[in-house]
Structure 1
């Protein structure tokens, strides 16, 4: 397995694991159980997204595309007046 990405937090890490799984790439979020120790451990570098060596390049490409995605025109609300739109 190869570490290919350092997510900022558990939420981003799990979203990426699930996105990769939907594309047929098995991934593991390494260090997810250490996040509760922040304050006692260094805050950066705890989380790492791991994939098999054969899937590393494809997974990097999928993550780059995911991070570069923009909302479709017309999908964003016209204003944010303190109302959560679901």
Structure 2
């Protein structure tokens, strides 16, 4: 297993786990149970997405494409610019 990404939040981590799973990549989230210790533990670097070595490049590519995606102007609500409607 190889650590390929450090999500900023548990919400981002869960969403990326789901996305990778939908693409046939089995991923594991390390540090999920440490999030409750923020304040006593360092705030950054607690979470990590791990995948099998042979799937690491594809998983990094998918996460990179996700991070590079832009909000379409027609999908932005007027009250919250920069937010996607789901």
Regarding TM over 0.5, the answer is: yes
Deviation for aligned residue 1:73: 4.5
Moved over 6 A (4+): none
Q: What is the RMSD computed on CA atoms of the aligned residues?
A: 1.6
Number of the residue aligned with 1:59: 59
Bigger Cα Rg: 1
* CA displacement, residues 15-64 of structure 1 (integer Å, 9 cap, x when unaligned): 00000000000011100000001111111111001000000000000000
Number of the residue aligned with 2:75: 75
Q: TM-score, normalised to structure 1's length?
A: 0.86
Q: TM-score, normalised to structure 2's length?
A: 0.86
